[in-house]
Amino acid sequence: MTQTKIGIDAGGTLIKTAYIENERIQYRSFPSQAIDDAIKWLHDYFEKPAICVTGGRSQVLAKKLNVPAKTVVEFDATTEGITYLAGPQTLGRQFLFVNVGTGTSIHHVTDGRQERIGGSGIGGGTLLGLAYLTTGMQDYEEIVRAASDGNREHVDLKVKDIFEGLLPPISGDLTASNFGKAEWMREHKPSDSDMLAAIIGLIGEVIVTISTQAAAQYDTGAIVYIGSSFRSNPLLQDILVAYTRLVGKEPVFLPNGEYSGAIGALLAID
């Protein structure tokens, strides 16, 4: 019987697994606080598998396993996973990848070798924290679902709001100030959905600004966006696509991109 191979990316928000079953890669994830549930599933579902772990909580998870686990550097594993998922899609000999998880990490890849060039504390953890502070919501799926019904123009100050009656020098639909419509909000309290949409807008615009500036600095055309923050979150993805193309760079979203680290760990198993 062939030994099952499992790659695990244990991050701050999710524990993501990639494993081969019926000659295909399968995926499953668990909330990071449910690490014991993930361990139970691994012990119950697999018999003496070969496991490779990566991610910030990889050592915590590895100590709970009943089998030894190989360890691989998270950033290198993610690069390998992206290359695998991209397949024949041409990213060029160099590209950026932006991993939007709990926070955001930006990497420059040349000929398969990555270098971390920056990042931000803005990410999925920001969404969960600000959503709780503003609306009391705690469930990720509920948050992104509610945000899809929101109107950011009830919260954000647009360029066209400042140049009222005049032709602005840049697109009037650009954000002049996130959460900047204070006067309007004092008279018309925005809905929870409006605030959540504005939070996602803020996160997306910060990420795309630093990402496209890095792409310009390193003269790369493609920016690969991956991470658990895009799960069931088309609003965030749409913001990144629109603003990335606005500055002449090409946004790339890979199917199952959030599992890049887990796939890279899987591929590292001999």
Q: Among all residues, which ones are annotated catalytic?
A: 74
Number of other CB atoms surrounding residue 34 within 10 Å: 14
Alpha carbons 7 and 123: distance in angstroms, whole number:
24
> What values do phi and psi take at 240, rounded to 5?
-65, -40
User: In the chain, how many H helices and how many E strands?
Assistant: 10, 12
Q: What tokens were used for 252? A: 């790339």
> Beta 50-54 vs 69-71: how paired, if at all?
parallel
What is the three-class DSSP state of 148? coil
Angstrom CA distances, 179 to 45, 151, 211, 242, stand at 47, 12, 22, 20
